[in-house]
Structure 1
Amino acid sequence: MSPRPFALLGLSLLLAACSNHPEPSPPSPSAAPAAAHEALPADQRELRGSLLGAPADSEVELAVLLVDARGTPREELGSTRLQGNGQALPFSLRFHPQPFAAGTRIELRGRASQSGRLILRLPPRTLSVVDSQALGALQLVPAP
């Protein structure tokens, strides 16, 4: 018997196998919501909110600081940098809480610069509770 009928049979089986549509894979759960509310390590806290007034192409810096009674920063507990886009700028700032001595407080401070020049600042916001919290919308004001 010649190999030609076997070759035709093999080719037809191969074409039949290729013409079947693969079964659609089940939709994978979205990773974005899981990342947005990712569990924090026990030694960290998080501040969430949005900044209003950050112009496009500006660089925004936020920091959680330990501040003394005179308003002088003593230690940085956490910081983040963001790029302004001309719209409300969401932020999530993780920090390491620490017990602080009498006469000191924890503050959130921020500033926005454009081309290396300070243009806006966030008025200092004292954190009465050193825990994870949502701060809502915070307005940047012109820098002096």
Structure 2
Amino acid sequence: MLKKRQQKFKEEAVKNVKGEMTYDEYIDSLSERYDDVLHKIDVLYDLWVKICKVYHQMNEERKSLKVTIEKIEAELRTINEKVSNRHPLQQKFPIMPNNPKGLITYLLADISSYWTKRICHSKHIKKLILIIFLTLSLF
């Protein structure tokens, strides 16, 4: 009974293969194809492992870069706060008085003090004064 089943299996295997091939040749070609598929699966698995490693490395690098970027942003915020606090508020032009008594002090004191403060806080005048002091220190 077992021999009959094996014989029937051999006959069906031979019928399925195009051309005339013996049972042993069919099993050999089948095992070769199986080995080829196993080799391709191993190659795909190795590639998948490499991709996973690269993904994890990139994820770790992203985390470290995120921490670095947050540190730099904090430093830039503090620098921006210091720079913005350093600049004095812009001087407002004095308001003209309604009565004639305050007109003289307005013309002689208020307007002149306004322009003096504005000129002293000008960055161009500060640079000019620095250049003058540097040239005087060379002589």
- Give the TM-score normalised by the residue count of structure 2: 0.28
- Structure with the higher fraction of residues in helix conformation: 2
Higher relative contact order (CA 8 A, sep 6+): 1
- Give the TM-score normalised by the residue count of structure 1: 0.27
Q: Which has the larger radius of gyration?
A: 2
- Structure with the higher fraction of residues in strand conformation: 1
